[in-house]
Amino acid sequence: MRKANYLVLAAVVIYLLATPHALAQGGIVEQSIKGLTEQLNQAALKGDVATYEKLLADDYISISVLGKASTKPEIIESIKSGKTKFDAIDVLDSQVRVHGDAAVVIGLANVKGHSGDTDISGQYRSTRVWIKQKGQWKTVSFQATRVAQ
């Protein structure tokens, strides 16, 4: 009976020691993902193609505010050519949910910009999916939806 008590005690001690570390690691990942998401927002404002090249996965798909699906090369060309231009991205809320080597960012932002001749200014909710590939976080998907008035 004593041996069983020691095993239970040892299991509880290991759990209690591991839990704060796991929670801290989750917080570190959340902050990293928020930082990477902000890097993409800044890249959008500056037309910084190099950041997009670095942070978008090769199989990246974006669903624009106009409902158009675009690949990584299409997004980069749109930014490079100036077809898509953002003047402001004011994030009002951002929540990160981490699931192992995947993370989902749910955001709310006021955006000012255009896509071609279309004014895309307004308030949007967005979902961005990140995955860890070869030790690096890459975004694989993004979708933005205009908030109803």
What is the C-alpha separation between 104 and 129, in angstroms, rounded? 5
Reported as a single tens digit per residue, the pLDDT across 80-105 is 999 999 999 999 999 999 999 999 99
C-beta separation of 68 from 149 below 8 A: no
Break the chain into its structural domains and give their ranges: 2-146
Residue 3, pLDDT score? 56
Q: Record the pTM.
A: 0.80
Topology, domain 2-146:
Nuclear Transport Factor 2; Chain: A, (3.10.450)
